[in-house]
Structure formats: C-alpha cells, structure tokens
A = this chain, B = another copy of it.
Amino acid sequence: MSHKIITISREFGSGGRDIGELVAKKLNVSCYDKELIKEVAKESGYSLDYIEENENATSSLLYNIATTGGYGVSVYNQDHMSPVDQVYIMQSKIIAELANRESCVIVGRCADYILREKEECLHVLIHADMEHKKERAIHSYGVSAKDAEKIIHKRNKARASHYKYYTGLTWGSVQNYHISLNSGLLGISDCVEIIANAAIKKLGNFD
C-alpha cells in the first residue's frame, strides 16, 4: 500500500506547526517537524542546535564558489559540500525515506518540493495576515511585542530564501500547493478540519 503524506508549508506566526500536529492526531499518524532535526543529528553527528541554526540558511556564497566553483548544491561530492548543503541533502533523504515508510504529516523543510513527484500527497500552505501572525508570535512563541513584526519579516524572509535556493521556486506561491489556507481568517480548528477532510477526499482513509 502506498503511504499518504500531507506536507505543510507555513509562514512563521501562522500556526502551521500546531495545525500539522492536530491534523496528524485527527488522522492517527505522526507529525514530523523538529523530529526530523533529531534524525539528521543522528545520521550526521552534528548537534541539534547546529542543525537548527543551519537548516533555514543558504550556503555561504564564498564557500560555494570556493568548493564547487559556483552556486547551488554539488550533489556529486559530499566532501566538498558546505555544512548547510549537507544538512539539506540529509534531510531530503530522510523525508523521502519517511514517505516510503509510513503515512504522516511533514511540516516545513521543503517537503512539498522534495515529494513533488509522489502521487499520494496533499501539499498545503498556511498563511495569515500580519496582525494574526504578530498575536501568535507574541502570545505563543514569547516574542516581544516591540520586535514582533521585524522578527516575523526576518524569519519569513529566511524561509523564502532557503526555499528559493534549494528548489528554484517562489515560497508561498499558490501554484506549489493543492490548498492554501488563511489561518488568521479561518482559525486553527477550521484549518485542521478542512485539511483532514480534503486529505481523506483526495487520498482516501488514513487507517
């Protein structure tokens, strides 16, 4: 039986991670988010903090020019890869293995792109307006009210650059997803319900 995967791309502050966890719970499957970092740590020997720091980065331009003679990931020689590229490649392999092993929800980490050829997928984008993102960042992630807007911009800019660097596509462009949901207008629980229902409709029961 082919496994069913829901990928969730999410703006920082949109509640996408919580939505992913609740969808997974509703469908009785696992949700992979931070868990992926642990898997990469196990395989690579890098520390959790180091991976977390590097996973939304792009390779240093100078490092790339020096070691690969250009931009982008040199998949041919892992010894010459920057640590950021190594984390990306390892994470991609783990995501592909996961999708072959079990039905699950995967949050972030370019999973929509990595699994773009896989049929049994529902790719979802969660976005929200700035007011809702600020509210969530302040009350759920403990960001200071003064800095919230700046931090949200910075984090989402980093996600966009990372996605662009590794996929060549524009992060958050609706064309990459089956469904895009405005969690600010819909609220978390409606998003969960819509995604779970859509996944069952498109992919069949998860049991």
Interface footprint category on A: 20 to 34
Which residues on the B side are within 8 Å of A123 (C-beta)?
Answer: 185
| Given A129-B175, A180-B180, A194:B185 Cβ within 8 A | no
Q: Which of A166-207 contact B (CB under 8 A)?
A: 172, 174-175, 177-182, 185-186, 190, 193-194, 197-198, 201-202
> Contact mask A6-48 → B, CB, 8 Å, 1/0?
0000000000000000000000000000000000000000000
Name A residues whose Cβ lies closer than 8 Å to a Cβ of B. Answer: 123, 125, 127, 129, 172, 174-175, 177-182, 185-186, 190, 193-194, 197-198, 201-202
Tell me, rounded to whole Å, the shortest Cβ–Cβ distance linking A186 to chain B.
Answer: 5
- The answer to whether A175 touches B182 (Cβ under 8 A) is yes
- The answer to whether A181 touches B178 (Cβ under 8 A) is yes
Number of copies of chain A assembled together:
2
15 A–B contacts from the bound complex (CB under 8 Å): A123-B185, A125-B180, A172-B174, A174-B180, A175-B182, A178-B185, A178-B186, A179-B180, A179-B182, A179-B186, A180-B181, A190-B198, A193-B198, A194-B197, A197-B197
Which residues on the B side are within 8 Å of A125 (C-beta)?
Answer: 174, 180
Which residues on the B side are within 8 Å of A172 (C-beta)?
Answer: 174
